[in-house]
Amino acid sequence: MHLQAVLPDTVSGLLGLEGILGDVVGGLVGAFLVANIMLIMTAFAGPWAKRKITAAFADRIAVNRIGPFGLLTIVTDAVRLLSKELVVPEGVDRPAWDLAPMVIPFSALLGFAVIPMGNGIQLADPETGLAFAFAAASIASLGIVMTGYASNNKFSLIGALRAVAANIAYEIPLVVTAASVVIFAGSLRMSEIVAVQAEPLLSVAGVTIPTWFAFVNPFAFALFVIANLAEVGRNPFDIPEAPTEIVAGYQTEYSSVYFVLIYLGEFIHIFLGGAIAATLFLGGPAGPVLPGFVWFTIKIWAFFLFTQWARSAVPRLRVDQFLEIGWKGMLVLSFANLVLTAIIVGVIA
């Protein structure tokens, strides 16, 4: 079963455009809509939801002074940060220092191009969609290296090197674990991975349980979520920033709009990690009663809540512990899962 990506086609149809012009305009408008959906979610997640969740874990009161439930803090924080002076430290390597904050959020938004969000909200559905999503997300590593190298600051450089070490150590287990899903689904196309999970797995007391790969292979799901935490830099894997050790890591020398862009990219990457996990293991936008996009939103926000729980409840690992778990633990377990999945699928087939 193959679910076609219809958002650009729908937009061009509504505008009455055909041919190349329709494809270009439909794609641009569709990309604008998807990007703004994610930016709005990020605006709620960063300045407001993160504080509220952290405060709840610490049994204290978070932002509540400006607007109902403190929601207008989103606006005031945006104005406050964007109106600050952009301080350019002496000796930075420009234009790399200027480009890096743009690369980080762009890479995360690019990954959403192939994510099926339900209700026809998918920009593109290439045969190698999953590989594209991982490739787009990994571009952020380039931006982080640029921030560390170009900042002319030892703490920034240490943070960037830690980020690279984290990406190498945990991105391999992440991709290898995702490959086990590809073996089950028989395709790298995102829509087909979602479609396979729509088939019934079993029925209990009249309730049909779908073939979500989180149910089929919960071990792989657990591996993927743990590796994903390392990829998005949340506890216990937040060593690239490590505020108690290296100030703010790779983003130490950034302020004003550049800091906002890096901060924005961090949260968009959390949502992208949740979106990939939902697509691979939780049926994508599938769910009962509610529209697909609502279920997709619930699933990625659930992953966001999980990352904030980890941030509040789990202590940071030392660098040596971090690398040891990645190379000696996650890598071995991910390959073991891949081999076992291949054997099981081969026997069943």
pLDDT tens digits along 112-158: 999 999 878 888 888 999 999 999 988 888 888 888 888 888 888 88
Instruction: State the pLDDT at residue 120.
Output: 80
Instruction: State the pLDDT at residue 274.
Output: 93
Distance between CA atoms of residues 334 and 215, nearest Å:
17
Q: Where does the pLDDT of residue 58 fall: very low under 50, low under 70, confident under 90, or very high at 90 and above?
A: confident
Instruction: State the pLDDT at residue 349.
Output: 61
Spatial CA neighbour of 274 closest among 41, 3, 8: 41
Within the chain, residue ranges assigned H as helices are 7-15, 19-44, 50-57, 73-82, 96-111, 129-150, 154-185, 190-197, 213-216, 218-232, 243-246, 256-281, 292-313, 319-324, 331-348
Instruction: State the pLDDT at residue 331.
Output: 92
One-letter amino acid of 34: V
φ/ψ of residue 127, rounded to 5: -65, -25
Instruction: Tell me the average pLDDT across 29-51.
Output: 89
Distance between CA atoms of residues 188 and 55, nearest Å:
40
Name the range with the highest mean pLDDT among 65-69, 93-97, 332-336.
332-336
Give the model confidence (pLDDT) of 206-262 as tens digits: 778 888 999 989 999 999 999 998 888 777 888 777 777 777 778 888 888 888 898
Contact 87, 341 (CB under 8 A): no
210 bridge partner residues: 200
Distance between CA atoms of residues 198 and 187, nearest Å:
15
200 bridge partner residues: 210
Q: Where does the pLDDT of residue 3 fall: very low under 50, low under 70, confident under 90, or very high at 90 and above?
A: very low
Spatial CA neighbour of 78 closest among 107, 47, 109, 52: 47
Distance between CA atoms of residues 163 and 248, nearest Å:
12
Instruction: State the pLDDT at residue 305.
Output: 92
Burial string for 302-317 (b: 16+ CB within 10 Å, else e) reads ebbebbbbbbeeeebb
> What 3-state DSSP class applies to 64?
coil
Percent of the chain with pLDDT over 90: 27
* pTM assigned to the model: 0.90
Give the model confidence (pLDDT) of 277-323 as tens digits: 999 999 989 888 889 899 999 999 999 999 988 888 888 888 888 88
Give the model confidence (pLDDT) of 158-192 as tens digits: 888 888 888 888 889 999 999 999 998 889 999 99
Distance between CA atoms of residues 309 and 50, nearest Å:
10
Q: Where does the pLDDT of residue 1 fall: very low under 50, low under 70, confident under 90, or very high at 90 and above?
A: very low
Q: Examine the pLDDT at 4 and tell me if it is beyond 60.
A: no
Distances (CA, A) of 132 to 3, 89, 136, 194, 212: 17, 36, 6, 16, 22
